[in-house]
Chain A
Amino acid sequence: MSWAAHDLEPYVIQKELGKRVAFVPLLIGSYAPDLASKWFVYGVTVVGVELKADNPAQFHRGWPGFGFTHSLAFGFLIGLLLYAIWRNKVVAYSFVIGQWAHALTDVGDTVGTMLFFPFTDHLFAAGAWAYAGQTGRYTDAGAYFSGLGFVWDGVFVVWALLSWRVITRGYFRTTVMAADPFWKWAGRYLSETTLIALYRASYFYGIARWAAWLIWAHVVRSFAFDLRWGGPRWVPRVYARELNAAPTCRCPGCCSMKPRLGFYGAVAVCAWTKGRSRSIRDALQAAPRRRRRRFRRHALKKR
């Protein structure tokens, strides 16, 4: 599970795809897999009765359980349903993109996701950070922000900050409102300032929450940092192999790819794609010019 990536992914995707995606379905897609199940993983107390899954990892990611919400097919089916209701292709595939981003991000922990459900209920896991939902949300937060999980979220925090253009008022008016029917409808009842505050809420939430949990885990509670693959050794974690029916999977994905190699490969592909995109290229090209300008000003002052 990720604590800030799911809040920030929609903004990063919005930056890359512009008017080709609708923001609200993208955001709902990004939250959708956890909407119905997360509360039961950590447990809630209602009128003195504690409601909690017996096996949180199985319930959250496995089958039988709510693990199907983290599969690619689930996103596709809900996308089809949205298309059937609204007859709007952009709304439908924006949801699919958001949901797929969530499912693929959660592959990073030790339990992983059933990506190809219903064809197989095998959990695909890179195992970079610990799945410790069964320990309760505070220990889970401490473990996540002491291992590689906070680094992964940190990547999205930096990426979101680099995508600052998407949260400007002008971008919202010209690109976000034009592509998403929700904002046009909401604009009839709410002021523009309210719409923009709502639009920025997840960006604000993701970055502020990442900073707050990091401070809480290491200043208030003194959880020990352990950036080893698999998360901190002090937390009891659940592994995909404990939930998978077969001890070794015969599927081509598992046979041909070592998870860690695959994870680094995916990060490298993302970085390469991002490096080829215009925003970074423009920033890199503009940087020496700025330095040259500063150098010229400095030389003029000397004269």
Chain B
Amino acid sequence: MGAPASRPRRHPLEAADVILARVRGDGSPSGLREGLALGRHELVLYLALGALYVAIGVAFPEFLFSWVVAAGYLLVCVVALPALVRRFRR
């Protein structure tokens, strides 16, 4: 039984370099894999909302005509509902 293997310590500057290497000059992740790792929860949320929007739109095409309706739907589902849930959980 040897001592538990400790993680090799990185010099703080080296760690910063690694983080910077993952982000491009325009602020976006360096690759699709990094992008997915950074925003997986958001992506799942938006995909689910997209699928629901398509389902509602196919059933009631009137829903598809207005940009304002789409933006409102997105704001309600991404901002307002999670904020309400957070408030009730407290």
Contact = CB atoms under 8 A, between A and B. Distances in A.
| A and B together in one complex | yes
B56 to A, nearest CB: 8
Contact of A168 (B25, B39, B64, B75): B39
Contacts of B39: 168-169
A209 interface: yes
Given A200-B74, A204-B46, A208-B57, A175 B64 contact: no
Contacts of A264: none
A197 B75 contact: yes
A245 to B, nearest CB: 33
Interface in A1-56: 7, 18-19, 31
Contact of A212 (B27, B49, B58): B58
A267 B26 CA distance: 28
Interface stretch (A111-119, A215-223, A225-233): A215-223
A138 B61 CA distance: 9
A209 B74 contact: no
Given A209-B64, A215-B58, A220-B58, A175 B35 contact: no
Contacts of A170: 23, 27-29, 38
Interface in A159-218: 164-166, 168-175, 191, 193-194, 197-198, 200-202, 204-205, 207-209, 211-213, 215-216
B29 A216 contact: no
A213 B64 contact: yes
Q: Which range contains the number of A residues in contact with the other chain? A: 35 or more
A58 to B, nearest CB: 23
Contacts of A220: 58
Contacts of B25: 174
Interface in B26-71: 26-29, 31-32, 35, 38-39, 42, 46, 49-50, 53-54, 57-58, 61, 64-65, 67, 70-71
Given A200-B74, A205-B67, A168 B29 contact: yes
B35 to A, nearest CB: 6
A191 to B, nearest CB: 7
B27 A201 contact: no
Contact of B46 (A200, A219, A286): A200
B71 A198 contact: yes
A137 interface: yes
A256 to B, nearest CB: 38
B27 A175 contact: yes
A43 to B, nearest CB: 13
Interface of B: 23-29, 31-32, 35, 38-39, 42, 46, 49-50, 53-54, 57-58, 61, 64-65, 67, 70-71, 74-75, 78-79
Interface of A: 7, 18-19, 31, 137-138, 141, 164-166, 168-175, 191, 193-194, 197-198, 200-202, 204-205, 207-209, 211-213, 215-216, 219-220, 286
10 contacts: A168-B27, A170-B23, A175-B26, A193-B79, A198-B75, A200-B46, A208-B50, A208-B53, A212-B57, A216-B57
Q: Which 4 A-B pairs have the closest CB atoms?
A: A174-B27, A212-B57, A165-B28, A170-B27
